[in-house]
Every structure is written in C-alpha cells, then in structure tokens.
C-alpha cells in the first residue's frame, strides 16, 4: 500500500510543466483559436519528442511504456496551460488498440503514434460530439453493435462550434463495412466502456490543472490589486472563496489519482472510480472559474484578460467523455443499486451493522 508517486514520475511532471510554461503561453493558446484546425503539427512534433502521444505505447513499439498513473500527472500540466492538442483522443485510441484481441492494428498504428506521425480518436455514445476528429488519422467508432476502425477518408464530419476556442468538436458519420470492423457485441461494449473511462480520466486530470491555474491567477491578482487602500486578497471574503476551491481541488485530486490506478490496473470499481474523479475534478474547476472571475471582478470578465481561457476549458472538459449527469448516474448506480459500499476503499460494511448510539466524540 503506497498512495503516492515516485520521484521519477514527479520529475517527468516537472519537466513537462517547465516545457509547457515556456512554449504554451496563453497568447499561444489564444492564437490557436484563430487557426482553422486549432491544432499545430509543429507543436505536436515537440510533444512527440517529449514522448507524450506515445506515453501509453509499449517501449518495443517506440513508446514510453508507462501507464495512466504517469499520464494523469502530465494531463494536469496540459490542463494547467489550457492546451487542447489531441493528447486525450490519442491516449484513448492507444488504450483501445492495445486491448484488441488481434494485435495487427496496434502493430500498425502504435509505432506511428509514438513517433508523432499518427493521431487517434475514439467516439463514444455518451458524448455525441467527438473532439479532434478532424485531425485524427484513425478514428474508432461504433455502429451501434460493432466497433469500426476508420481512416480519416472514411469519415463524414460535421463541425460544431464550441464556446471554448480550444475545443474542436464534430459529429461523425460513416458507412460501416466488414473490413473496418474490429470488435463486436460484448467485446465492443467493454472496449467502448474502457475508452470512455480513459477519456474521462484524462479530462478530469486536465480539470485539476485548470482548477489549480484558476486559483493561482486569482491569488496572484488578489495579492496585487488594491481597493480601499489594501490588497483585496487581505479581505476574508476573497480568502474564504479561494480556500473553498482549494479544499475541493485537494479531494478531487485524490479521486483522480485513485482512478488513474484503477484504469491502469482495470480494477473492479474502475468505472465508478472514474466517475467520482470526473465529477469531483470538474466541479472543482467549474467553481474555480466562477470564483476566479469574481475575485478578478470586471477585468476578469473581459476577453483580453486570460481567466476565461481556463474557465471555458473547465466548461468543455466538464462535458467531455460523459457530462456530470452521466457520471452522477453511474456513481449512483454503483453506490445505490449495486451496493458498492461493501467494497469501499479499505472499509467493508457489514449488512445493517448495529451502530453505537453513544460515545460520539
């Protein structure tokens, strides 16, 4: 039992953080909003040099051979800078290809992913819109029963405009053919479920980063901005709003890290663990957006200030890979209908235990 990260893991996180802080400034992110695809092949190359797209790809296929406990730390950094390159889409795609019974697709694609030469994406019915489908070289989607692996040319995309300039969403249509089919029935559903969980986990981890950044922006501003002759950060109202967000972030992080472990090990409670992570992290990030805006006041409400960059990320991450309604329903189904409490972390609940009526304290 050890609930923490290794020094190597934390070092890689720091490396990525430093890299992104230098490269992926708010100006750069906002610049991407103006481009047609919103995605930068040059930047993708740089990310590939760091190994990020191939993080989950085995070392023999040219990847880093790491797992989701490594990935979440980096996804936090991605969220911290508000980056929206198709790292989530690719991670989800890699996870799915790795799990196919037939290794040929993985053998064909994963080395290319690790080399930065291919982008993957997976569609899931919980989200009617697929992010980054326009830049995916291979997209995996269901026809209702079977999963199909579809090269870009086989897709018909209908672009949707998100309020978040970083988010590029598409409705996807295609003709299912025998030669694109990669899994059917039960196997297809299991793969799809795992893909959703991996995508939701990545979104949750990014939400942690966005939350942290929104707190940092507000704390920084509150320490500088003076009204009534003092820094507004000295007012309890400001302190307490931010402290409440910090509390939420702390406990959301615990859920996300545990969910990462559950996804990496395909643990029994994986889906519920992921839903808890998604709910907690997105809620923290959404609250951070509101509080950060309130602390900034009118200046935060302007387009030129950067608060909205992360606030909009929080909004779109909340909707990605299952919205809050979806994940709360899945949580309740786990806790209430299947009486998961008996499997609660460490603690196991006997049926209708007698409760001590005395000795609270």
Partner 1 sequence: MDLTYTPEQDAFRKEARAWLEANVPAAPLPSFDIAEGFEAHRAWEKKLHAGGYAMVPWPVEYGGRGSDLLEWLVFEEEYYRAGAPGRVNQNGIFLLGPTIMEVGTPEQKARFLPKMASSEEVWAQGWSEPNAGSDMAAIQSTAIRDGDHYVINGQKTWASRGAYAHWLFGLFRTDPDSTRHKGLSFILSPLDLPGITVRPIQKINGKAAFAEVFFDDVRVPAENLLGEEGAGWNVAMATAGFERGLMLRSPARFQSTAARLVDLYHATVERGDPVAPGMRDRVARCWMDAEAYTLNTYQTVTRLLSGGKIGAEASLNKIFWSELDIEIHEAALELLGPRAELDPRSPAAGDAGSWLDGYIFALSGPIYAGTNQIQRNIIAERLLGLPRK
User: Using CB under 8 A as the criterion, which residues of the chain lie in contact with a copy of itself when the complex forms?
Assistant: 235-237, 240
Q: How far is the CB of 295 from a copy of itself (least distance, A)?
A: 14
Q: Can residue 117 be called a binding residue for partner 1 (CB under 8 A)?
A: no
The CA angle 260-263-267, to the nearest 5 degrees, is: 115
Q: How far is the CB of 145 from a copy of itself (least distance, A)?
A: 36
- For a copy of itself, which is the closer residue by CB, 177 or 240? 240
Among 81, 201, 230, 282, binds partner 1 (CB under 8 A): 230
Q: What residues between 128 and 167 interact with partner 1 by CB under 8 A?
A: 128-129, 158-164, 167
Residue with tokens 């899994």, as numbered in its chain? 183
Q: Can residue 176 be called a binding residue for partner 1 (CB under 8 A)?
A: no
Q: How far is the CB of 143 from partner 1 (least distance, A)?
A: 19
Per-residue exposure over 307-335, b if at least 16 CB sit within 10 Å of its own CB, e if not: bbbbbbbbbbbbbbbbeeebbeebbeebe
Q: Can residue 193 be called a binding residue for partner 1 (CB under 8 A)?
A: no
Q: Can residue 169 be called a binding residue for partner 1 (CB under 8 A)?
A: yes
Q: Can residue 35 be called a binding residue for partner 1 (CB under 8 A)?
A: no
- For a copy of itself, which is the closer residue by CB, 231 or 267? 231
Q: What residues between 250 and 269 interact with partner 1 by CB under 8 A?
A: 250-252, 254-255, 257-258, 260-261
- For a copy of itself, which is the closer residue by CB, 93 or 233? 233
Token code pair at residue 280:
């907690």
Dihedrals φ, ψ of 53, to 5°? Answer: -60, -30
Q: Helix (H, G, I), strand (E, B), or coil: what is residue 173?
A: strand
Token code pair at residue 124:
């899931």
Q: How far is the CB of 23 from partner 1 (least distance, A)?
A: 25
Q: Can residue 34 be called a binding residue for partner 1 (CB under 8 A)?
A: no
For residue 5, which of 245, 205, 247 has the smallest C-alpha distance?
205
Rounded CA-CA distance 213/333 in Å is 33
| Contact in structure between 123 and 199 (CB atoms under 8 Å) | no
Q: Which helix (H) or strand (E) holds 73?
A: helix 68-81
Q: How far is the CB of 360 from a copy of itself (least distance, A)?
A: 13
Burial class from Cβ neighbours inside 10 Å (0-12, 13-18, 19+) for residue 149 reads buried
- For partner 1, which is the closer residue by CB, 150 or 252? 252
Q: Can residue 69 be called a binding residue for partner 1 (CB under 8 A)?
A: yes
Q: Can residue 280 be called a binding residue for partner 1 (CB under 8 A)?
A: yes
Rounded CA-CA distance 163/306 in Å is 15
Answer with the entry of partner 1, a copy of itself, none that 336 interacts with (C-beta below 5 to 8 A by kind). partner 1
Q: Can residue 315 be called a binding residue for partner 1 (CB under 8 A)?
A: yes
């Amino acid at each position: 039992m050890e609930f923490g990260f290794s020094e190597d893991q934390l070092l890689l996180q720091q490396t990525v953080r430093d890299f992104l802080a230098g490269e992926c400034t708010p100006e750069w992110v906002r610049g991407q909003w103006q481009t047609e695809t919103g995605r930068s092949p040059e930047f993708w190359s740089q990310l590939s040099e760091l190994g990020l797209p191939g993080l989950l790809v085995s070392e023999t296929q040219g990847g880093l051979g790491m797992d989701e406990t490594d990935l979440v730390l980096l996804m936090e950094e991605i969220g911290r800078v508000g980056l929206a390159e198709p790292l989530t889409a690719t991670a989800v795609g890699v996870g799915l290809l790795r799990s196919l019974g037939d290794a040929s697709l993985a053998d064909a694609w994963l080395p290319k992913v690790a080399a930065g030469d291919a982008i993957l994406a997976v569609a899931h019915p919980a989200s009617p819109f697929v992010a980054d489908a326009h830049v995916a070289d291979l997209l995996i989607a269901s026809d209702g029963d079977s999963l199909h692996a579809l090269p870009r040319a086989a897709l018909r995309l209908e672009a949707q405009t998100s309020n978040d300039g970083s988010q590029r969403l598409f409705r996807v249509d295609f003709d299912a053919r025998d030669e694109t089919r990669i899994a059917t029935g039960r196997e297809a559903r299991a793969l799809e479920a795992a893909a959703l969980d991996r995508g939701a986990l990545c979104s949750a981890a990014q939400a942690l980063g966005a939350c942290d950044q929104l707190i940092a922006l507000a704390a920084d501003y509150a320490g500088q901005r003076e009204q009534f002759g003092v820094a507004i950060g000295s007012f309890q109202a400001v302190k307490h709003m931010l402290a409440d967000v910090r509390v939420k972030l702390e406990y959301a992080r615990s859920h996300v890290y545990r969910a990462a472990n559950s996804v990496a090990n395909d643990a029994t409670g994986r889906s519920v663990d992921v839903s808890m992570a998604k709910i907690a992290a997105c809620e923290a990030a959404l609250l951070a957006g509101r509080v950060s805006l309130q602390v900034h006041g009118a200046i935060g409400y302007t387009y030129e200030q950067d608060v909205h960059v992360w606030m909009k990320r929080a909004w779109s991450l909340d909707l990605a890979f299952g919205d809050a309604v979806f994940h709360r329903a899945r949580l309740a189904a786990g806790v209430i209908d299947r009486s998961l409490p008996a499997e609660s972390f460490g603690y196991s609940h006997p049926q209708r235990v007698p409760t001590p009526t005395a000795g609270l304290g």
